[in-house]
Amino acid sequence: MIAGQASRRAFISGVAGYIGSHAALCFLDAGWQVIGIDDLSTGHVGCVPMGVVFHQSGVSDPETAALLAQSPPDVVLHFAAKTSIDESIAAPGSYYETNTGQAARFFEAAARAGVANIVHSSTAAVYGEAGDQPVDEGFRLRPASPYGRSKLAAEWALSDTCRATGMRHVILRYFNVAGADPLCRSGPRGGAQHLIKVVAEAAVGLRDRVRINGTDYATPDGTAIRDYVHVSDLVRAHLSAAEYLLAGGGSVTLNCGCGRGYSVREVIDATLALDLHRFAVTDAARRPGDVARIVANSSRMMDLLNWTPSHDRLETILETSVAWEQAMLNRARAAS
Ligand SMILES: NC(=O)c1ccc[n+]([C@@H]2O[C@H](COP(=O)([O-])OP(=O)(O)OC[C@H]3O[C@@H](n4cnc5c(N)ncnc54)[C@H](O)[C@@H]3O)[C@@H](O)[C@H]2O)c1
Ligand SMILES: O=c1ccn([C@@H]2O[C@H](COP(=O)(O)OP(=O)(O)O[C@H]3O[C@H](CO)[C@H](O)[C@H](O)[C@H]3O)[C@@H](O)[C@H]2O)c(=O)[nH]1
């Protein structure tokens, strides 16, 4: 922040979640004021960073619309969503309700309140199966799960709302977000089934076994390939996106990944190479809704937002994830 300049205000939905809490830290570190809401359905109030003005409220609750209207922020960041591919297959209605319907009402409330700029969390899951080539934003959209479809529909709702109201958006399609704040101020909490969290839990002794979901994919080692982006790099892209919009940038949709794919087996081997708790590895069936391979071409974002990842080594992602799990374990032991 420039001396004498009033600090900017960000309004964050899903601030008690994994990525939302890291975004709050990033914006607070940059001198912004942060107002956050979360219904705590999967988030934890303990994840909300100190300094955030927090309200327990749902994205489409009247209280949220009133907060936006009371004092419209410079930028809204929308993270709140349901995020499990498995659960979306079992209960698709709740995914369309939260990720599409409530999101659409939230976008309208923001526009009605006079918000000019919004950064929205979307996902690589909107593409579906990608094959061997890194995908750019023009790649065909064929989501493989209700989760992906509910998020794609939210993108359409946002761009239509922006077109109708003059609000401008940056939609960021994240690839696989992983890692934890290097200062261990936040990280992924319990309940997550994401691969990097699972292996980090195993590395600190919380699990004795890691399952590989599918060993018969058409990939070099038969396991699924993903593009992992460190959460601290990802939230830095949100700060750049906010600055881009504040400088008058037009609505845009951008991939956010590192452009390098790692297979499930490579992730597991890299974790075992850290030489921490030894764990067993079991071959299992493919997980419904999974794709074989997806890796980003993020050059549009790199150019427009001047973004380069600084924690893109798999080892760094794993080390920060393991440090976070160890810190949580130490805290739990100290408390018992
Ligand atoms: N984690 C990833 O790898 C990944 C990848 C691509 C996209 N995304 C997107 O990033 C965003 C954040 O994901 P995350 O991994 O931090 O998930 P998360 O579950 O940790 O965080 C989501 C937060 O939203 C809150 N929430 C859910 N429904 C709500 C509602 N109706 N009203 C208010 N709060 C609500 C939850 O309590 C939680 O705190 C999501 O939109 C997700 O689709 C995540
Ligand atoms: O214990 C595990 C956990 C995961 N996997 C496999 O590891 C790969 C990565 O799985 P994650 O659950 O870590 O991530 P996904 O690719 O399924 O999905 C994540 O990235 C997507 C974007 O591509 C979505 O946005 C979604 O929100 C987010 O969960 C998948 O093949 C999965 O089956 C295992 O083999 N064993």
Convert the pLDDT of each residue in 127-176 to its tens digit: 999 988 899 999 999 999 999 999 999 999 999 999 999 999 999 999 99
Quote the tokens at residue 188. Answer: 């992924």
Region 290-309 average pLDDT = 96
Q: How many whole angstroms from 256 Cα to the centroid of ligand 1? A: 16
From the CA of 294, give the closest atom in ligand 2: 23
Residue 4 has pLDDT above 90, yes or no: no
Selecting among 127, 147, 217, 228, the annotated active-site residue is 147
Helix axes 314-335, 264-272, angle to 10 degrees: 60
Q: Please, is 86 exposed, middle or buried when counting C-beta atoms within 10 Å of its C-beta (0-12, 13-18, 19+)?
A: middle
Best of 287, 295, 298, 314 to mutate for ligand 2, by most ligand atoms within 8 A of CB? Answer: 287
- φ, ψ of residue 272 in degrees (nearest 5): -65, -30
| 59 Cβ below 6 A of ligand 1 | yes
| 176 Cβ below 6 A of ligand 1 | yes
- 224 φψ region: left (φ > 0), alpha (ψ -120 to 50), beta (else): beta
Question: Has 147 been annotated as catalytic?
Answer: yes
| 125 Cβ below 6 A of ligand 2 | yes
Atom 9 of ligand 1: nearest residue by CA position: 121
Give the model's pLDDT for residue 191. Answer: 73
Element (H, E) at 168: strand 168-174
- Indicate which ligand has the atom closest to the C-alpha of 79: 1
| 150 Cβ below 6 A of ligand 2 | no
Q: How confident is the model at residue 193 (pLDDT cuts 50, 70, 90)?
A: confident
Element (H, E) at 118: strand 117-123
This model of the complex carries an ipTM of 0.97
| 58 Cβ below 6 A of ligand 1 | yes
> What average pLDDT is seen over the chain?
96
Best of 12, 38, 118, 150 to mutate for ligand 1, by most ligand atoms within 8 A of CB? Answer: 38
Give the model's pLDDT for residue 2. Answer: 52
| 287 Cβ below 6 A of ligand 2 | yes
Q: Which domains does the chain have, with CATH numbers?
A: 9-178+228-258+296-310 (3.40.50.720)
Q: How confident is the model at residue 5 (pLDDT cuts 50, 70, 90)?
A: low
Q: How many whole angstroms from 1 Cα to the centroid of ligand 1? A: 28
**This model's pTM is above 0.95:** yes
Atom 5 of ligand 2: nearest residue by CA position: 195
Q: Residue 198 and residue 177: Cα distance in Å, rounded?
A: 13
Q: How many whole angstroms from 243 Cα to the centroid of ligand 2? A: 31
| 309 Cβ below 6 A of ligand 1 | no
| 43 Cβ below 6 A of ligand 1 | yes
Give the model's pLDDT for residue 95. Answer: 98
